[in-house]
Amino acid sequence: MFGYYVSLALRSLRGTPVLSALMVAAIAVGVGASMTTLTLNYMMSQNALQHKDDRLYAVQLDSWAPEKAYQNDTQMPWELTYRDAQALLRSDIPSRQVAMHRWGATVSQENSELRPFTAQIRVTTRDFFALFDIPFIYGNTWHKSSDQNPTREVVLSKKTNEKLFNGENSVGRSINLNGEPFTVVGVIEHWNPTPKVYDLNNGAFKNSEEIYMPFGLHRQLQIYSWGNLNGWKSEDISNYEDLLNSHYVWVQYWVELDNEKKKHDYENFLAAYIETQKTKGYFPRPLKFGLTRPSEWLVVNEVLSDDNRILGWLSLAFLLVCVVNAVALLLAKFLRKAPEAGVRRALGASRKAIFSQHLIESGCIGLIGGVMGILLTLLGLSLIRTLQMGRLDQIASMDWVMMLAAIGLAILASLLAGIYPAWRISNTNPSVYLKTQ
Amino acid sequence: MLEIKPILSALWRNKIAALLIALQLALTLAIVSNASVIISDRKEKTARPTGIAVEDIITVNFQPVSQNYDMQTAVAADLDLIRPIPGVVEATHSNHFPLSGSGSASAYYNQPSQETGGEVANYYQVGAEFIQAMGMKLIAGRNFDPSDIQVADLTENRESSVVIVTKQFAEKLFPEGDALGKYIYGDRSSHPIEIIGIVERNLGGWVNWSKAGNAVFFPEMLIAEGNLFMRYLVRTEPGQRDSVFNQLEEKLSQRDPHRVIEMDTIENFLHKSYSRDNTMIKVLSVVIGLLTFIIALGIVGLTTFWINQRRKQIGVRRALGATRAAIGRYFLLENGMIASAGIALGMAAAQIANRMMVESYGQPQLPLPTMLSCALILLIVSLTAALVPALRAANISPATATRNV
């Protein structure tokens, strides 16, 4: 019966080409508009650390000014002072922990044709790769002592290794950063989480860094963060050591806590640390710290902006208009065919049969509209990519989940649109139409 | 004269279809009026004057390959190289590029040794030719003199004793309008810095910042030991930017190949800074256009269907003496009544939707004139859409009535 209804539906669509085209267009445009924005919002809400969401926490300490909060009355600073980061690193409660920030330096090689370039660098402690689950192609991370003592070692991203060493095993070889030699100790697999959940400070959709280097190098290289450096207090800073001991916040901190007990212990540790610091005149605000899971971290950092949310709601309202439009058009179409339905009823078709026949017809419109809606979505996304000038290339693309969602949305919309008209026509009184035949 | 009563009773028989049209118009009005208020808000924002010659400025950022580098000599040599290039108006160094989305800010006070009651401003450490190189307008006082230039490091300890500020910042700190010749101070600092000049405007580094336009310029050359970099701003004659751009990188790397040079334009920075707003404007405009188009099509489709259903009645009315104009007017009036009901509903929906957007997403309030003009436009669209089938209805011949009865 189903196949027969489908062929009836297609025949009926061909019978009224203009009206059918209008309905397909309404569904396609509605689906296209809403799927474009929903795809953007969905991709912007991806969490690359989902599989470790129950173990990883971003650490915040409220070290800000006594008279006002960092932002909006309640917000703590996103980053820690270098001093606090060093103190937290001494704890052995977390199974892994990372203190880090963004930096950059020129990269050059002796006796090489390669043109020097500026690389984005992450200055971090050694646990970075294990904590964020990044596999190595060659070599491994640096030794624990390099997190405290200056060691001129680097880990390269896969792309950087391809650029500098044609993708060969480069462990033990040397590159120059800002003109000084560094030894390669490892090469990691391609890893570029979007949004960049581990550091959302300078744009959530930036690429991950090209080179990673140990946290123990600050004093030797006088590293100033290429991320944010925020302060609230005027201090006399006349040299680099003063900056390291200052109240400026610029270090991001993540911990891995294996279970609830460890988390509890760590909370106690943080509270105790702040209390001790208070007696020395630090942390003038009420005691407050934050341990935030990656999924929540994306939310509190407002990766999905208000603009995105407005567009999401707007596109759903848009789809609603398209559905109402389709209801009106379907009603017109079905009522025009009422005599046909009347004859079928008179020949013994049940109300249920008439109802499902017409619902299948609207489903067919939904399917065609859905496929065209996907095409429109792809068009819409490529438009967004052009408007955003390459900044959202990875975001503005559809995966198969969203493709299926688009078809599903279209069919759901057209079935919803079809229910009332199909019910209305299934209630046709056959006698009216038999009279005029 | 107007057939309101018969129309109402005819509509009552078709109440679902009429309701659907009204509902579409209501939803459309709610969406369109809220989208237009966002669009006009963003257009206003992106149209703010920047105070600089956006289209004529090239930016150069370089990092020496090795930290063992004589920056001051290099800057002098580079600027001497750039300035004679045909088409170049002026070139200077700066710690940041205006409108680029990055910059530094600090609080300044009109009294020494304060820590509250100051005003935050974007600060720039710039060469003596900065004002000409940006194409800014000096509205009071004097420009920098090359002898004002001090060498600064990253520690933010102000060395210079003079500053040029924007009018906006001057008025914030000295509301009486007598900022010229007065002194400003850094956080808890007692080092006086004299305001020697006031420029009309500079939007600063962050266009989305609530205090955008607060900017101060110090005659300093920033040399960050251990993290050496330098930035130049090069202003060209109008229309010459791209040809100068092409020569510039080659000449600079020829003079000194041991550095990484990155070039861009202020115009490009501005586009990037506003890309979110521009995306919003374009997406919302497309939504408004598509939505209006879709409901127009829907009204054409449904009115046509109605008229086809009522061909005989129309024929009878024509046969009984109704003029063509009367038939056309009947259907236009019918549509007008449905549309008015929908629009009345839509105004309420628009206000509710707007309240939610104001509260949850910090969007601007929907002014009454905007909503009314959107409503008027929608009414016109609806009537125009109904006009085509209504004219066809008017052409139905009275003979139709006599067939098949």
The closest CB to that of A317, out of B31, B154, B295, belongs to B31
More confident residue, A427 or B168: B168
pLDDT band at B327, cuts 50/70/90?
confident
Q: What is the pLDDT of residue B377?
A: 94
**Domain check: are B340 and B292 in the same one?**
yes
The CA-based angle B19-B20-B21, given to 5 degrees, is: 90
User: Out of A154-163, A425-434, B92-101, which region has the weakest mean confidence (pLDDT)?
Assistant: A425-434
Q: Which of B13, B19, B24, B102 to mutate to test the interface with A (most CBs of A within 10 A)?
A: B24
Alpha-carbon distance of A35 to A372, in angstroms, equals 12
Q: What is the pLDDT of residue A389?
A: 59
Check pLDDT > 60 for residue A93: yes
- Tell me the percentage of chain B whose pLDDT exceeds 70: 97
What does pTM read for this prediction?
0.86
Check pLDDT > 50 for residue B199: yes
Name the strand (E) or helix (H) holding A154.
Answer: strand A153-156
Q: Which residues of B touch A310 (CB under 8 A)?
A: 38, 357, 361, 363
**What does the pLDDT average to over B336-363?**
92
**What does the pLDDT average to over A123-129?**
97
Alpha-carbon distance of B369 to B34, in angstroms, equals 12
Contact yes or no for A384 and B279 at CB 8 A: yes
User: Out of A343-357, A403-417, B162-176, B391-405, which region has the weakest mean confidence (pLDDT)?
Assistant: B391-405
pLDDT band at A8, cuts 50/70/90?
confident
CA distance to partner chain A, nearest, from residue B26 (Å): 9
B57, part of any domain: no
Name the strand (E) or helix (H) holding B339.
Answer: helix B324-361
Alpha-carbon distance of B92 to B99, in angstroms, equals 17
User: Out of B41-50, B81-90, B194-203, B296-305, which region has the weakest mean confidence (pLDDT)?
Assistant: B296-305
pLDDT band at B38, cuts 50/70/90?
very high
Contact yes or no for A179 and B156 at CB 8 A: no
Q: What is the pLDDT of residue A250?
A: 96
Contact yes or no for B280 and A311 at CB 8 A: yes
pLDDT band at B402, cuts 50/70/90?
low
Check pLDDT > 70 for residue A363: yes
Contact yes or no for A307 and B309 at CB 8 A: no
Alpha-carbon distance of A151 to A243, in angstroms, equals 21
Check pLDDT > 90 for residue B308: no
Final residue of a domain: which of B257, B289, B310? Answer: B257
pLDDT band at B130, cuts 50/70/90?
very high
Check pLDDT > 70 for residue B401: no
**Domain check: are B118 and B187 in the same one?**
yes
Contact yes or no for B27 and A238 at CB 8 A: no
B61, part of any domain: no
pLDDT, tens only, B18-32: 888 899 999 999 999
Distance of CA B301 to CAs A31, A73, A339, Å? 20, 55, 20
CA distance to partner chain A, nearest, from residue B142 (Å): 30
pLDDT, tens only, A282-311: 999 999 999 999 999 999 999 988 888 998
Alpha-carbon distance of A27 to A415, in angstroms, equals 11
Task: Report long-range pairs for B362-370 (Cβ below 8 Å, ≥24 apart).
Answer: B362/A306, B363/A306, B363/A310, B363/B34, B363/B37, B363/B38, B363/B41, B364/B37, B364/B38, B364/B41, B365/B37, B366/B33, B366/B34, B366/B37, B367/B37, B370/B33, B370/B36, B370/B37, B370/B40
The closest CB to that of B278, out of A117, A234, A387, belongs to A387
Q: Which of A234, A319, A335, A385 to mutate to test the interface with B (most CBs of B within 10 A)?
A: A234
Quote the mean pLDDT of chain B: 90
Q: What is the pLDDT of residue A251?
A: 97
Contact yes or no for A179 and B189 at CB 8 A: no
Alpha-carbon distance of B362 to B208, in angstroms, equals 14
B267, part of any domain: no
For residue A188, list its beta bridge partners: A136
Segment 110-149 of chain A within 8 Å of chain B by CB: 116-118
Check pLDDT > 70 for residue A437: no
Contact yes or no for A243 and B155 at CB 8 A: yes
pLDDT band at A55, cuts 50/70/90?
very high
pLDDT, tens only, B214-269: 999 999 998 887 788 999 999 999 999 999 999 998 999 899 988 999 999 999 99
Q: Which of A180, A220, A305, A310 to mutate to test the interface with B (most CBs of B within 10 A)?
A: A310
List the single residue in B with minimal CA-CA distance to A333.
B305
Check pLDDT > 60 for residue A436: no
Distance of CA A425 to CAs A322, A339, A340, A344, A437, Å? 21, 10, 10, 11, 18
Check pLDDT > 70 for residue A116: yes
Q: State the burial class of residue A17 (Cβ atoms within 10 Å of its Cβ: 0-12, 13-18, 19+).
A: exposed
Q: What is the pLDDT of residue A425?
A: 85
For the record, the structure tokens of A342 come out as: 């009347």
The answer, for A332 touching chain B at a CB cutoff of 8 Å, is yes
Find where tokens 């009420």 sit: A286
Q: Are B135 and B306 in contact (CB under 8 A)?
A: no
Coil, helix or strand at residue B237: coil
Check pLDDT > 60 for residue B9: yes
B322, part of any domain: yes
For the record, the structure tokens of B287 come out as: 């939504």
Contacts of A174 by beta carbon, 8 Å cutoff, 6+ apart: A110, A181, A182, A183, A184
How many independent structural domains does chain B possess? 2
Torsion of CA A109, A113, A115, A118, to 10 degrees: -20
More confident residue, B405 or B363: B363
- CA neighbours closer than 13 Å in the CB half-sphere of residue B99: 29
pLDDT, tens only, A12-50: 888 888 788 888 888 888 889 888 888 888 888 889 999
Chains A, B: CB contacts within 8 A come to 154
The closest CB to that of A387, out of B20, B66, B279, belongs to B279
Q: Which residues of B touch A314 (CB under 8 A)?
A: 31, 34-35, 284, 287
Q: What is the pLDDT of residue A129?
A: 97
Contacts of A213 by beta carbon, 8 Å cutoff, 6+ apart: A103, A121, A122, A123, A124, A153, A154, A155, A177, A182
The closest CB to that of A324, out of B23, B262, B308, belongs to B23
Q: Which residues of B touch A306 (CB under 8 A)?
A: 360-363
Q: Which of B60, B263, B283 to mutate to test the interface with A (most CBs of A within 10 A)?
A: B283
The answer, for A310 touching chain B at a CB cutoff of 8 Å, is yes
**Domain check: are B188 and B154 in the same one?**
yes
Q: Are B113 and B189 in contact (CB under 8 A)?
A: yes
Q: What is the pLDDT of residue A429?
A: 77
**Domain check: are B239 and B157 in the same one?**
yes
A127: Cα separation from own chain's centroid:
23
The closest CB to that of B27, out of A180, A324, A328, belongs to A324
The CA-based angle A89-A180-B155, given to 5 degrees, is: 60
**Domain check: are B105 and B252 in the same one?**
yes
Q: At what angle do helices A351-387 and B275-309 cross, to 10 degrees?
A: 150
In single-letter form, the type of residue at position A38 comes to L
Quote the mean pLDDT of chain A: 89
In single-letter form, the type of residue at position A311 comes to L
For the record, the structure tokens of A260 come out as: 């609830």
Alpha-carbon distance of A266 to B106, in angstroms, equals 35
B388, part of any domain: yes
For residue B235, list its beta bridge partners: B57, B90
Query: Which ipTM was obtained for this model?
Result: 0.84
For the record, the structure tokens of A154 come out as: 């680097």
For the record, the structure tokens of B227 come out as: 């993290």
Q: Which residues of A touch B24 (CB under 8 A)?
A: 321, 324-325, 328
For residue B112, say if its preceding peptide bond is cis, omega within 30 degrees of 0: no
SS (H, E, C) B184-218: EECCCCCCCEEEEEEECCCCCCCCCCCCCCCEEEE
pLDDT band at B1, cuts 50/70/90?
low
B295, part of any domain: yes
Q: What is the pLDDT of residue A409?
A: 84
The closest CB to that of A388, out of B116, B275, B357, belongs to B275
Q: Where are the beta strands (DSSP E) in B160-304?
A: 162-166, 183-184, 193-199, 215-222, 230-236, 259-265
Q: Are A8 and A266 in contact (CB under 8 A)?
A: no
Q: Which domain holds residue B81?
A: 66-257
Q: At what angle do helices A351-387 and A306-336 cross, to 10 degrees?
A: 150
**Domain check: are B99 and B209 in the same one?**
yes
* Strand order through the sheet with B88-93: B88-93, B230-236, B57-64, B259-265
Contact yes or no for B361 and A221 at CB 8 A: no
List the single residue in A with minimal CA-CA distance to B66.
A179
Check pLDDT > 90 for residue B43: yes
- Tell me the percentage of chain A whose pLDDT exceeds 90: 49
Q: What is the pLDDT of residue A125?
A: 97
Distance of CA B276 to CAs A38, B39, B273, B284, Å? 17, 12, 8, 12
B307, part of any domain: yes
Check pLDDT > 70 for residue B405: no
Distance of CA A365 to CAs A141, A370, A419, B32, Å? 57, 8, 13, 27
The answer, for A314 touching chain B at a CB cutoff of 8 Å, is yes
pLDDT, tens only, A210-245: 999 999 999 999 999 999 988 888 777 888 899 999
Check pLDDT > 70 for residue B157: no
**Domain check: are B247 and B329 in the same one?**
no
Distance of CA B366 to CAs A242, B14, B104, Å? 51, 34, 35
**Domain check: are B129 and B163 in the same one?**
yes
Instruction: Find the radius of gyration of the CA atoms of chain A.
Output: 31
Q: What is the pLDDT of residue B404?
A: 56
Contact yes or no for B27 and A320 at CB 8 A: yes
Segment 74-103 of chain A within 8 Å of chain B by CB: none
**Domain check: are B90 and B236 in the same one?**
yes
Torsion of CA A332, A335, A340, A342, to 10 degrees: 170
